[in-house]
Amino acid sequence: MANVLILGGGFGGIVAAERLAKALAPEHQITLVSRSSRFVFYPALVRLAFGKCEVEDISYDLREAMLDRRVRFIEGTAARVDPSERTVTLTGGDIVGDIKYDYLVYALGRRLATEQVRGFFEHAHHLLGVGAAQKFGEAVRNFRGGHAVIGSCPGARLEVPVYETAFALARRLEARGDSARITVVSPEYPGERPGGADLASALQPALASHHIEHLKDFPIAEVTGDAVVSRDGREVGYDLLMLVPPFEGASALASTGLTDEEGYVRVDHTMRVLGAQGMYAVGDAVYFSGPKMGHMAVRQAEVAAENLAAEIEGRAPAAHYKHEIALVVDEGGKDTVYLHKNLWEEGGKAIGHGRFWGWAKRGHEKYFKAQHS
């Protein structure tokens, strides 16, 4: 019997758990550990902030969902993984202490490294959790005009909610007849990010039609009570601020030598962790280039589960991950953008515009919840 432990109850962890439960014979034990017993569909957090959905619409109870799939669920925080002893130290939850594994899937996502930007914690709103999105939503409701700055800090690996927030805010202000200036701030030029130039040019017409300015090459180093300050000392004042903070890998594998300098786990294209036995990693936690996206986490989890099941059954790994961007930026109407782009191969780029993509994105959210809850 193999004892498989999955860390993280996000897109990567739950898809890995479900795939393994289907692929492995019932004598193998599968356990999922996550800090929270609720799964949250993060791509819907912008809509939550703008009052377009409720928390219950975009989240569900993991303990119940996993029970239905014969996966044991433990609520707890994975403080440390010891790859040589094959143990994980859990704190604060259902179990405190070390638990053993034969095989591990590491899907702890990313850490918000807000400490890298002075004043972020005190002054900036963000959207990377239910509580934070609701707090930002309250600030939006109280915003009566002035300058809204919406952007990314250096090391933030997520552009979609930045643009979606700018569009949602513009539409809200237009509907109320309020006038305000909206600026999207990016830490570098779009061409310096994988897929960034394609996305920026696809979004240009929508930004222009909502009179949203785009300030590029503005790496935020500090946030004060009324301005963001770049590394070279330029300042932009704000009355409303939402920033995606810098990301880093989760800390449970720190000092094992299995991560890069930003804490992301090194894996091969079968999603096996380089330098460790019986360990796979998926999702925002891994060191692949470009944006950190849910659809990547799902595909990586499928690949990891297939190869882990093969390893347990003594077969060679057959599934290989291909790194691609597939995203929708919902503008709320006809200027919604779809982008698909291969990041490891030349060619394979597709761009679409239209209302359809917004419906497709919201439909996908409902489909995901129906399939997995």
Q: Is 195 left (phi over 0), alpha (psi -120 to 50) or beta?
A: left
CA distance 193 to 298: 22
Run of H or E including 56? none
- Report if residue 195 touches ligand FAD, rule: CB under 6 A: no
**153-161, 209-217, 218-226, 258-266 -> range binding ligand FAD (CB under 6 A):** 153-161
By rule CB under 6 A, what string of x and - marks binding of each residue 318-337 to ligand FAD?
Answer: ---------x----------
Give me the least distance between CB of 157 and ligand FAD, in Å please. 9
DSSP state of 128: S
* Segment holding 4, helix H or strand E: strand 3-7
Answer yes or no whether residue 45 interacts with ligand FAD by CB under 6 A: yes
Report residue 97: phi and psi, to 5°. 130, -165
190 close to 321: Cβ distance less than 8 angstroms: no
Whichever of 105 and 221 has its CB closer to ligand FAD, that residue is 105
The three-class DSSP label of residue 39 is: strand
Q: Which of 107, 173 has the CB closer to ligand FAD?
A: 107
Dihedral angle sign, alpha carbons of residues 192, 198, 204, 210 = negative
Q: How far is the CB of 111 from ligand FAD (least distance, A)?
A: 8
- Helix-helix angle 11-23:294-312, to 10 degrees: 30
Q: State yes or no: residue 113 binds ligand FAD (CB under 6 A).
A: no
Closest approach, Cβ 285 to ligand FAD, in A, equals 6
Q: How long a stretch of residues is the chain?
A: 373
Give the nearest distance from C-beta 292 to ligand FAD in angstroms: 5
Region of 216-224, 266-274, 293-301, 313-321 interacting with ligand FAD (CB under 6 A): 293-301
Binding site for ligand FAD (CB under 6 A): 7-13, 33-36, 42-43, 45-46, 77-78, 107-109, 127-128, 158, 160-161, 250, 252, 283-285, 292-295, 297, 327
